[in-house]
Amino acid sequence: MSIPVLKFDAVIVGAGGAGLRSAIQLSEAGLKTAVLSKVFPTRSHTVAAQGGVAASLGNSEEDHWHWHMYDTVKGSDWLGDQDAIEFMVRKANECVVELEHYGMPFDRTDNGKIYQRPFGGHMSNFGEKPVRRSCAAADRTGHAMLHAMYQRNVKANTQFFVEWMALDLIRDSEGHVVGVTAMEMETGQVVIFHTRATIFATGGAGRIFYSSTNAFINTGDGLGMAARAGIPLEDMEFWQFHPTGVAGAGVLITEGVRGEGGILRNSSKERFMERYAPNAKDLASRDVVSRAMTTEINEGRGCGVNKDYVLLDITHLDPNTIMKRLPGIREIGLQFAGVDCIKEPLPVVPTCHYQMGGIPTHYSGRVVMPQNGDPNAVVPGFYAAGECACASVHGANRLGTNSLLDLLVFGKSAGDSAVEDLKAGKAHRELPKNAAEQSLARVSAIDNRKGGANVHETRLAMQRTMQAHAGVFRFGDLLKSGVDKILEIEKAARQLEIKDKSMAWNTARTEALEMENLIEVAKATMLSAEARKESRGAHVRDDAPDTPEFPNGRNDAEWLKHTLFNPVDNSISYKPVNMQPLTVETIALKTRSY
């Protein structure tokens, strides 16, 4: 069977913020650049980012990149690489100003500068007092950013392949990446993109959890493809959770609800936060609230048929206050929980929000993996940026507004590195003879299998297992049994069956292909989380509690290291954290407290 081959200098998989930013670098350098996307670019999940983008412009008050660096290292619970973090915060101003020049409609001060607003964790003078560092475009920062960058790409002649799904990375016998296979959804045709540079900007994989704020599109396609090509995944145990998502839907309920007097209750209507945080109660920090909610559910005091959520009660508040101070919250309850929150409490659970780990990269955007004794050997021809990549700047937990900064800085950096490597003048390497074999075999197996597993049921089993065994607060025994369960579910995920056999617009097939990516991420997460026996950042274990010897349960002597999950044999190895910044002194280890 002959498969069409399209030749490009570079292909970028994903048209969210990171993909569009890197495409600008390549196209403006005159390179023939293709961007593949499952959806129209301005419908990527970057659109959902509201908070803003961090940059120490100092427009509202004095600020410095070194302070931003300190906040990021501290936020990461010292797991972030300090060279990559210094690189990112020092590039922030340039990237934000560039974006402004692309036409991004930032909010402005009276004198016309970019307006900056405060955000949790942004501090001046090395953690001393809050500073206004976040640049935003109303509550549509991500949306405005995508539009500005999409227009710039159109001008630069980037070629978009919209409603195409990338299937597999193509590596030759020497390990060089020479392109990807992809499927055009409209026809079902599989095509080879033969390239000199391949950039993954596929976003996160929050859909591995039952409760996730992520849109359905976040199925970890880049991580799945990297894993199938034998590339390890870094720090996959670290996921940021939000305490209150609508149970069963994941839609975020703002923390303002608790701020206005909302009370969390268990199945016997008890205000359980009084036991966990006698002073702050329902206004305790995110970590404390999430942990308490999980404990209530795990100890059988959850609500509903499956006893798997708690209640957020605002029925005691004046309905006028609810409508005035919490606009939209009643609608969210009605639409996503079938509950009128003026009369009944809302079902809520801790909900996955952001993936800190990913495909290991250097801050130049080049993908790295252990080879011949070097833990960070470059995979030639392969780059990654944004939520799918792990540079690692977020370490064990991400500072708010650093996600949009990450995709700008590392999107640009990956693009620049690809341009630099391509200008070195190497021709296309030869395509392996079996370049499309793996993809064709996967598609054909899904199309033809009889008596296999149902996609929806398998995904649900995975999501429930991840939520119950590797959620926001983790337990040694649950992680252990979670490993067995997820390996069992993996067997089903490798035997998926679909009823629709059509070539054109077969969404059942596309969802099956996505499921094969999700399971790689779920497995990496569960096994990495089980292996890390300390608490750090967003990875909090019941059996690694806060003690004088190990504040917050963090054990630097043993665990100040990055996890590498090797998908080839499900093994785990570790590599050192880079504690050496580029020009300044190391930000020394300290207990993380706010």
Partner 1 sequence: MERADYERLRWRCIRRALLELDITLTRFLDTGFDRLSEEEKQVFVELANMEDHELWYWLSGQTECDDPRFAPIVAAIRKS
Question: Cβ 332 to partner 1, closest distance in Å?
Answer: 8
Pairing of strands 129-135, 116-124: antiparallel
Binding site for partner 1 (CB under 8 A): 38-39, 42-48, 140, 143, 163, 185-186, 212-217, 249-251, 327-328, 331-332, 335-336, 502, 504-507, 510
Query: Residues 195, 143, 74, 543: is their CA dihedral positive or negative?
Result: negative
Dig out the tokens for 142 from the structure.
């991500």
Closer residue to partner 1 in complex, CB, 35/47: 47
- Nearest one of 11, 15, 14 to 42, comparing CA atoms: 15
Catalytic residue of the set 286, 301, 464, 494 = 286
Q: Phi/psi at 474 (nearest 5 deg)?
A: -115, 150
DSSP secondary structure string for all residues of 339-363:
--TTTSPEEEEEEEEEE--BEEB-T
- Nearest one of 196, 291, 206, 281 to 240, comparing CA atoms: 206
Question: Cβ 44 to partner 1, closest distance in Å?
Answer: 6
Sequence-separated (6 or more) residues with CB below 8 Å from residue 569: none
Question: Cβ 312 to partner 1, closest distance in Å?
Answer: 18
DSSP secondary structure string for all residues of 533-558:
-S-BTTB-BTTS---SSSGGG--HHH
Question: Cβ 336 to partner 1, closest distance in Å?
Answer: 6
Contact 489, 461 (CB under 8 A): yes
Peptide bond into 392 cis (omega under 30): yes
Closer residue to partner 1 in complex, CB, 503/589: 503
Closer residue to partner 1 in complex, CB, 330/562: 330
Query: Residues 39, 44, 45, 47: is their CA dihedral positive or negative?
Result: negative
Question: Cβ 435 to partner 1, closest distance in Å?
Answer: 27
H runs (alpha helix) in 365-497? 402-423, 437-448, 455-469, 476-493
167: left (phi over 0), alpha (psi -120 to 50) or beta: alpha
Closer residue to partner 1 in complex, CB, 92/166: 166
Closer residue to partner 1 in complex, CB, 134/506: 506
Closer residue to partner 1 in complex, CB, 163/260: 163
Let me know the angle formed at the C-alpha of 52 by 47 and 56, rounded to the nearest 5 degrees.
145
Closer residue to partner 1 in complex, CB, 164/363: 164
**Is 286 noted as a catalytic residue in this protein?**
yes
Contact 229, 43 (CB under 8 A): no
Closer residue to partner 1 in complex, CB, 15/529: 15
Question: Cβ 151 to partner 1, closest distance in Å?
Answer: 14
Closer residue to partner 1 in complex, CB, 50/298: 50
Dig out the tokens for 149 from the structure.
């960058």
Strand partners, 359: 389
CA–CA gap between residue 571 and residue 558 (Å, rounded): 18
Dig out the tokens for 287 from the structure.
């970590």
Contact 256, 244 (CB under 8 A): no
Question: Cβ 164 to partner 1, closest distance in Å?
Answer: 12
Question: Cβ 219 to partner 1, closest distance in Å?
Answer: 10
Range 270-279 contact pairs with CB under 8 angstroms and sequence separation of 24 or more: 270/301, 272/296, 272/301, 272/310
Tell me the catalytic residues: 286
